[in-house]
Structure 1
Amino acid sequence: MNTVTDRRAVARQRTPLNRSQIAGFWGAWAGWTLDGMDSFIYALVLTPALTELLPRSGFAATPSNVGLAGSILFALFLVGWGLSFIWGPLADRFGRTKVLAATIFTFAIFTGLAATSTNVWQLGIYRFIAGVGIGGEWALAGTYVAEAWPEDRRKMGAGYLQTGYYAGFFLAAALNYTVGVHFGWRAMFLTGAVPVVVAILILLRVKEPEKWQKADAKTVRAKPLREILGPAYRRRTWVACILLTIAIIGLWAGAVYEPSAVIQLAARAGMSKGDSIRTASLATGLLSIGTILGCLALPPMAERIGRKLTLAVYFAGMAVSIAASFGWAFYLPNGLAPFIAWLFVLGFFGGNFALFSLWLPEQFETRVRATAFAFCTSFGRFVGAGVNFLLGAAVLHMHTLGVPVALTALVFIVGLFVIPFAPETRGETLPQ
């Protein structure tokens, strides 16, 4: 009884959030939600968009060409994500909220412009520039919440923030179930222009974190990129890059090909085209719910057993669920239901990204934090772009998407051997 009472007393004693911290969190969360929605819109409308645009670009809209073109365009999108490291030094120099708003403006405007595409080249350019904006949002939102929220709240804040991205998946699936089915892929891209409103609100209502203001006043800024690659930070920078690369490869291998896999399995089960699309939307919603739960479960686990062991648990779960869903359930005679069931498990362990929102800010000081966050995430996206291109070629060569995607489970096994080289920061305060 006393223990329960003590815990409740501790919970009541947590530092209250002020209005700017609350508004800033919801602005960052909404931006991250719409970021996730924007990212997943492409996966959901991939087939209908390319089926229309490939013939206008001089190519037949065969399943193989759709798959290859889709992988190439997504690789370009990931390269845009990779170039988003430019936002980190800007945020360390000019502030978190201003640059966060700029990233949201960028991806919103160019996602909306994608609806006007008349060929695959235009779509590729718009998605590339949108990727530059989308890629910067996570680093800046994560940095903002870590610095703006009180020490006794920021860890759960990281978990709450990360749910936004997968709430965006759920929102994209809901829009596809309603708007996409009735109005087509162009209407889906138009909905991606909505985040401009969020960017305006962030600029008008949210103050810069005090930690950044103090560091900005005290520090003469030199070259933060050089500093994170220098002797003091080199090891933790490259270890974080490798771990994020593994997480990104696994996320996009599973998430990008999930709707196509469900549509194929639904068609194999005798469903109509419309019912197959709706089933893919429902499956995406289930994947998103699982990931949101995984994000919420992660911070308490990381506080109890440590950052490194928590990531190991989530990486092991990703390896098993990717292999079981794409390598086993996808090839069952009646594999639709087992595949969708495994998607929930895959989604839960996909919540491993919440750990990076919590862990990366703990590894770097304020003057270089945004640069480090942006660099590590961008590195993973560059490598992920190359892997995605190879994955598309493998799908084309093997005439199946199950086995190539299932093989990405191996990278998580590699990750288990890399985790011990990362620093354990459980119990440490955010470095100033």
Structure 2
Amino acid sequence: MSSLIDRTSVARRRTPLNRSQIAGFWGAWAGWTLDGMDSFIYALVLTPALTELLPRSGYAATPANVGLAGSILFALFLVGWGLSFIWGPLADRFGRTKVLAGTIFTFAIFTGLAATSHNVWELAIYRFIAGVGIGGEWALAGTYVAESWPEDRRKMGAGYLQTGYYAGFFLAAALNYTIGVHFGWRAMFLTGAVPVVVAILVLLRVKESEKWQKAEARTVQTKPLREILGPTYRRRTWVACILLTIAIVGLWAGAVYEPSAVIQLATKAGMAKNDAIRTASLATGLLSIATILGCLALPPLAERIGRKKTLAIYFIGMAVAIVGSFGWAFYLPNGLAPFIAWLCVLGFFGGNFALFSLWLPEQFETRVRATAFAFCTSFGRFVGAGVNFLLGAAVLHMHTLGVPVALTALAFVVGLFVIPFAPETKGEVLPQ
């Protein structure tokens, strides 16, 4: 009884957030939400956009060509994400909030421009540059929240922040259910320009974290990229890169192909085109809600059993869910309902990304933190680009998307052997 009272009193004594910390969190969360919305808009409008643009580019809009072109465009998008590591050194040099606003401006403007595409090549260029902006937002938002929130609250702050990305999935699904169905894919891309307003608010209302200001004041010259690849940080940098690569390959394969898979299953079940699109939007909404729950469940679990064991549990869940959805339910005679049920499991364990928002800042000092975060996330996106290209080729060769996506579950099995090499930071404070 007394231990319960002690825990309750500790919870009540949590450091209160000041106005700047609250505004900063919501600015970062909103940017991350709209980042998620912009990035997932592409998955939702992939089929209708390419069906229109492929013939204008000299190619037949067959299901195989749509699948291959979609994978190539998504690979280019991931390459843009990979190049987003440039934002990290900029943030370590000039501050988190200014560069964070710059990432939001970039992905918002070029997502909006995608609505003007006349052919596949223009769409590819716009998505590539939008990817550069989208890729930088997570690293800077995660770094900012970790540094600005009090030590006793930053772990849950990481979980709260990560929910934004999947709230963006939900928002994209809601927009597709309403705007997309009635006004088409170009209108969906136009909604992606809205985050420009958030970027302006971030610039005007959010202050720099005190940790960065202090580190910047005492640092004369630093080469953060060289430092994170040097003797002190080399091992943890590369282990984090591998683990993030696995998370990106697995979740993105499932999330990107989920709408197309649901549309195929809904059409097979006899639904009309618009009803199939609405069903895909509803399935995406369920996937998003499940992922948000996974993000919120993760920080308390990581505090209780440690970062490494928590990630192992989530990786096992991802492997099982990918096989269950794309490897089994997708091929059932009436597989729509079982597939959507498995998507909820896939979504929950897809919350593993919240661990990296919590864990990466704990592994690096302030002067190199943004660079390390950006580098580790970007590395995985380069590899993810190659894997998605191979997936597209496999879909074209096998004439099905279920088995190729299901095979990405193997990446999480590999991840279980890599996790032991990562540092355990449970109970440690954020390095200065």
- TM-score tier by shorter-chain length is over 0.9
Give the conservation status (yes or no) of the 8 Å contact 1:93–1:221.
Answer: no
Structure 2 residue 30 is matched with structure 1 residue 33: no
Deviation at 1:58, TM superposition (A): 0.8
In the TM superposition, what is the alpha-carbon distance from 1:8 to its structure 2 partner?
Answer: 2.0
1:175-211 per-residue CA deviation (whole Å, 9 max, x = no partner) reads 0000000000000000000000000000000100000
Report if the CA contact (8 A) 1:83-1:132 is conserved: yes
- 1:83 Cα offset (Å): 0.1
Deviation of residue 221 (structure 1)? 2.6
Matches of 2:230 and 2:325, distance apart in 1: 41
Aligned-residue offset at 1:251: 1.1
In structure 2, distance between residues paired with 1:380 and 1:220: 31
Q: What is the DSSP-based 3-state SS (H/G/I as helix, E as strand, rest coil) of the residue aligned with 2:194? A: coil
Q: How does 1:353-364 map to 2 (within 5 A)?
A: 353-364=353-364
> How far apart are the structure 2 equivalents of 1:415 and 1:313?
11
C-alpha distance in 1, partners of 2:262/2:297? 27
Worse-superposed segment, 220-229 or 311-320: 220-229
Q: How much does 1:3 deviate?
A: 3.0
Measured in 2, the distance between the counterparts of 1:160 and 1:387 equals 29
Aligned equivalent of 2:127: 127
2:17 matched to 1:17?
yes
C-alpha distance in 2 between matches for 1:265 and 1:2: 55
CA distance in structure 1 between the aligned counterparts of 2:222 and 2:309, rounded to whole angstroms: 36
CA offsets per residue over residues 254-273 of structure 1, 9 Å max, x none? Answer: 00000000000001101110
Give the aligned CA root-mean-square deviation in angstroms: 0.5
Superposed counterparts of 1:87-106, under 5 Å: 87-106=87-106
The DSSP-based 3-state class of the residue aligned with 2:150 is coil
Structure 1 residue 12 displacement after superposition = 1.3
Q: Contact (CA 8 Å) 1:158, 1:358: kept in 2 or not?
A: yes
Q: Supply the distance in 2 between the matched residues of 1:168 and 1:69 (Cα, whole angstroms).
A: 24
**Per-residue Cα deviation, 1:398-422 (whole angstroms, up to 9, x for no partner):** 0000000000000000000000000
Instruction: Report the number of matched residues.
Output: 432
Superposition deviation, residue 218 in structure 1: 0.3
Instruction: Tell me if structure 2 keeps the 8 A contact 1:48–1:185.
Output: yes
SS of equivalent residue, structure 2 residue 316? helix
Post-superposition shift, 1:64?
0.7
1:309 shift after superposition? 0.2
Q: CA deviation at 1:7?
A: 2.0
Offset at 1:392? 0.3
Q: Residue 107 of structure 1: CA displacement? A: 0.1
* TM-score, scaled to structure 2: 1.00
Deviations 1:321-377 (A, max 9, x none): 000100000000110000000000000000000000000000000000000000000
The answer to which of 4-13 and 211-220 deviates more is 4-13
Classify the secondary structure of the residue corresponding to 2:414.
Answer: helix
Separation in 2, partners of 1:88, 1:6: 41
Deviation of 1:85 (Å):
0.2
Unaligned runs of 5+ in 2: none
Distance, in Å, in 2 between the alignment partners of 1:368 and 1:122 is 36
CA distance in 1, matches of 2:420, 2:72: 34
Name the SS of the counterpart of 1:16 in structure 2.
coil
Deviations 1:67-121 (A, max 9, x none): 1110000000000000000000000000000000000000000000000001110
Distance between the aligned counterparts of 2:57 and 2:28, measured in 1? 38
Q: What SS does the aligned partner of 2:116 have?
A: coil
Question: Does the CA-based 8 Å contact 1:50-1:66 persist in structure 2?
Answer: yes
DSSP-derived class of the 1:232 partner: coil
Alpha-carbon offset, residue 11 of structure 1? 1.3
Shift of 1:9: 1.1
Q: Secondary structure at the match of 1:260?
A: helix
Aligned partner of residue 115 in structure 1, secondary structure:
helix
Deviation of 1:5 (Å): 2.4
> Mean Cα displacement is larger for which, 214-223 or 274-283?
214-223
